[in-house]
Amino acid sequence: MATTGTDMSRMREMNQLSIVWALRGHPPSTVTELARRAGLSRPAVDVLVQALVVDGWAEVEEPGGSSVVGRPARRFRFRATAGHVLGIDIGVHKILVMLSDLEGSLVRTVRRPADPQAAPEARLAAVDGVIDEVLRDAGMTPGDIWAVTVGVTGPVDATGRTTLSTPLPGWRAADPAAHLAARFSCPIQVENDCKLAAVAERWNGAAQDADDIVFLLAGLRTGAGLILDGTLRRGHGGAAGEIGALKAVRWLTAPGHLESCPGIPATAAPGEAAAWVFQAARDGDRDAKAAIRRYTRDLAVGVAALVLALDPQVVVYGGGFSRSADVILDPLRRELAKHCLRLPELRASTLGDESVALGAVRLALDEVDSRLLSDGLAAPAAPRR
């Protein structure tokens, strides 16, 4: 614990930050309200917030129709558009780019299908194209972006590479951070998709109230992201949550139970077989229900391992299959109960397939915040690496 000494300029910086924190996430506020929220006196807040306005971090909203007696107060608002961040999901089948302001409001979202077989260079070129489109639509340049976070499939090491394993063809040698660094001078972060989705569910999704979360990204592949004590846990080498690699955990073969269900029309594409099974189960099909039971039985072993290892409050079921959570959660819960000491809540994702990109946005915003805390508030500007 390295408590470091403080002088008065640092104190002012901290107080200015506390005003920023009091402004954000609230409707436009009067000086009095800010003073109460930040625990400072009115005159002090007045001076600080004026400085924030001058620097461009805040803006005044001239008083509207105030229905109370007395002199109407100026209301100050955090200038969320002072900076923007990008959250990018590079998936096997799609590329999703989100542009967000500093408060997390999405300015622009563009989704493009991707060729599952595309080589890394082609995939990254496609990403560049989507980014260009987003920036053009928003009238921005790369210099306006303060942080970029990219979600990819597979465990991500400290350099932003996925050297251990990934289903994206050729991707083990790819270096998306280096690729983006050529265009963006701001901090660039690459992160595993499951981890980002977990972050998103805690931010805006199904687990906003929980501090200990296991997120399952369930689809034709299965992965997990872990949030403990409110913070994403990556593990020493960035490979936390890769319980699916354990042979005793049948995550690799679990979705096969769905695809091998009797009755699937021969015309169904590989990705559609599972959806057919889920629909059939909803309609009461016995074979489909049995297939789901087999799927959840295999899935539950790995989930139980995570639950027993981490004792989370909530397990969020997300990913492509989460649309069919209505027919999966109950069987899964029953299977889990057989293994666990204490059963956590089991919830369905509310963010669907936008969770990865949303989590990327959140992590990029966190990066901006941590720069603010360490470097203080100079006039708003894109941080450099």
Of 224 and 261, nearer to its own copies (C-beta) is 224
Strands 314-318 and 345-348: parallel
Region 60-119 residues binding its own copies, contact defined as CB under 8 A: none
Which among 156, 300, 148, 275 has a CA at the least distance from the CA of 214?
A: 300
Closest CA to 227 of 189, 201, 191: 201
In the complex, least distance from residue 68 CB atom to DNA, rounded to whole angstroms: 6
- To its own copies, the closest distance from the beta carbon of 371 in angstroms equals 13
Going residue by residue from 18 to 47, which x/- string records binding to DNA, judged by CB under 7 A? ------------xxx------xxxxxx-xx
The interface region with its own copies, picked from 63-71, 100-108, 210-218, 257-265 by CB under 8 A, is: 210-218
- Give the Cα separation of 203 and 212 in Å (integer): 13
Nearest 5°: phi and psi at 221?
Answer: -110, 160
**Cβ closer to its own copies: 1 or 68?**
1
Q: What are phi and psi of 274, to 5 degrees?
A: -60, -45
Look at residues 383, 354, 375, 369 and name the one whose alpha carbon lies nearest to residue 200.
Answer: 354
| 238-267 binders of its own copies (CB under 8 A) | 238-249
Question: For DNA, which residue of 54, 61, 63, 136 counts as binding (CB under 7 A)?
Answer: 63
Distance CA 177, CA 195 (A): 17
Distance between CA 193 and CA 319 in Å, rounded? 10
Could you give the 3-state DSSP secondary structure of residue 117?
coil
For 91, residues 6+ apart whose C-beta sits below 8 A from its C-beta are: 114, 153, 193, 356
In angstroms, what is the minimal distance from the CB of 48 to DNA?
A: 6
Q: For residues 270, 275, 279 and 281, what is the CA-based torsion angle, rounded to 10 degrees?
A: 80
Residue of the chain from 3, 4, 9, 374 that contacts DNA (CB under 7 A): 9
Cβ-based nearer residue to DNA, 32 or 159:
32
Q: How far is the CB of 1 from DNA (least distance, A)?
A: 18
Size of the site for DNA (CB under 7 A): 31
Write down the least CB distance from residue 236 to its own copies, Å. Answer: 4
Phi (first) and psi of residue 228, to 5 degrees: -125, 135
Minimum distance between the CB of residue 167 and its own copies, rounded to whole angstroms?
A: 15
Among 1, 2, 69, 341, indicate the residue that binds DNA (CB under 7 A).
Answer: 69
72 makes contact with DNA (CB under 7 A): yes
Binding pattern for the stretch 140-179 against its own copies, x by CB under 8 A and - elsewhere: ---------------x--------xx--------------
- Contact partners, residue 292, CB within 8 Å, separation at least 6: 257, 258, 277, 278, 281, 327, 328, 331
Residue 69: is it exposed, middle or buried by C-beta count within 10 angstroms (0-12/13-18/19+)?
exposed
- Contact between 277 and DNA per CB under 7 A: no
Q: Does 53 bind its own copies (CB under 8 A)?
A: no
Of 226, 201, 188, 234, which Cα lies nearest the Cα of 88? 188
Check binding of 7 to DNA (CB under 7 A): yes
**What residues line the site for DNA (CB under 7 A)?**
5-9, 11-12, 15, 30-32, 39-44, 46-48, 63, 65-74
Interface residues toward its own copies, by CB under 8 A: 1-8, 11, 14-15, 17-18, 21, 38-40, 44, 155, 164-165, 210-212, 224, 226, 228-229, 231, 233-249, 301, 304-306, 308-313, 339-342, 344, 369, 373
